[in-house]
Amino acid sequence: MKDTDLFQMALGLVPPWLVQESIFQPSEKLLEIRIDFARGSRLPCPECGVGCPVHDTTEKRWRHLDFFQHQAYLVARVPRVQCGQHGVKQVAVPWARPGSGFTLLFEGLILAMAPHMAVKRIAALIHEHDTLVWRVIRHHVREARSRADHRGVTTMAFDETAARRGHDYVTIAVDVLQRRVLFACPGRDGATIAAAAADLRRHGGDPSAVTSVACDLSPAFTAGITRHLPNAEITYDRFHVTQLVTVALEETRREEQRRGGWKGGLLKGNRWALLRNPDNHSPSQAKAAELIAMPDLHLKTGRAYRLKLAFQTAYADGPGALQRWCRWAARSRLPAMAKAARSIRNHWDGIVRWFTSNITSAIMEGFNSLFQAAKSRARGYRNHQYFIDMIYLIGAKLDFSASLGTHTK
């Protein structure tokens, strides 16, 4: 079998396209495969698909998958055809998308690596600039998202993830039942909910069909959901409600430690002994937590720790137990715990709805760990759009088959 026949079959080319020759330069670690079309061929107009005569040609070059350790390129005369209805039009080649310097198979390789590697590392690996890699990712993410079908979405969750250091966030909307990212945008105010509802509508979904939403206790999220998802019942996420109590415990510990004395010395260095659940304690942490919680020591932090443990039991036992816990915390003479109890009462309906809806935004915590790991690998992103593209690539379950065609199969 001749090398041209081998590459013809490997590339999946059909007439009128044919491999004319291959040029292998081992000293330069380079393989060039030259493609042409048969003389007198009539190629389809990209507008109407009617076979038309060739008007002229321009030679173009595309980076292809490496041939072993050698860089491979496809080179071809790309014709323009003379269409009687649409005039002179450049034909689309089957191995690459218009305007790209990469073949579809090469772009598919980039998309396969991007969720697991930093883009700069991919660029170094393929010996291309990272800006070109980002262009490939952005094109295919946008193409795939334009075809995403969000019909039937009824249960959503909202949360923010840190985009950069400081108060710089991206809000993410997730389909809880399908476990996929629906939408992401900069910010964490009510406008992000409006943008998510508009995006849902653009993809065939109906904001009024959303009946359940899980989110944190943000007033902006609550107001946005009430306005833009009018039939949704809000369930405040268990993780964020529990966080009210753990934050109150930490505030109590810090205040008591600042006052010094033997109590401050006992609390120093034992933050995680108090914040972690007993099941996750090391032997030394278990001993420290047990000591701090002893009633005879009369530590405010000890009382706060006992309240934290009681809260976890009450949250599992139902609304009645949670109501009794709130009364206990309100009478505890611990300002931070009393504040947490007031916040729970102020958000009571959304908090106790969990006992009937049983939905949480726990899926967001799993996604957030993946997004932050990607950001860490990249050592941050230059702008929000890069981060959002990566969020979609990792979590949106996008279908790239239409934009990459059969070349990725």
DSSP string, 281-298: --HHHHHHHHHHT-GGG-
Cβ neighbors of 348 (< 8 A, separation 6 or more) are none
Tens of pLDDT, residue by residue over 150-176, are 999 999 999 999 988 766 899 999 999
For residues 249-265, average pLDDT: 88
Beta bridge partners, 30, equal: 25, 71
* Global model pTM greater than 0.75: yes
Tell me the percentage of the chain whose pLDDT exceeds 90.
83
What local confidence, expressed as pLDDT, does residue 165 receive? 74
Cβ neighbors of 240 (< 8 A, separation 6 or more) are 216, 217, 361
Per-residue confidence band for 405, with pLDDT thresholds at 50, 70 and 90:
confident
Closest CA to 198 of 227, 233, 163, 169: 227
Inter-axis angle of helices 238-258 and 300-317, nearest 10 = 170
For residue 372, give Cα distances in angstroms to 123, 179, 402. 21, 18, 29
Task: Give yes or no for a contact between 81 and 88, defined as CB atoms under 8 angstroms apart.
Answer: yes
Tens of pLDDT, residue by residue over 304-345, are 999 999 999 999 999 999 999 999 999 999 999 999 999 999
Task: Give yes or no for a contact between 222 and 234, defined as CB atoms under 8 angstroms apart.
Answer: yes
Task: Give yes or no for a contact between 17 and 37, defined as CB atoms under 8 angstroms apart.
Answer: yes
**Side-chain-facing half-sphere of 306: CA atoms under 13 Å:** 15
Task: Give yes or no for a contact between 122 and 177, defined as CB atoms under 8 angstroms apart.
Answer: no
- Give the helix/strand (H/E) hosting 384: helix 384-395
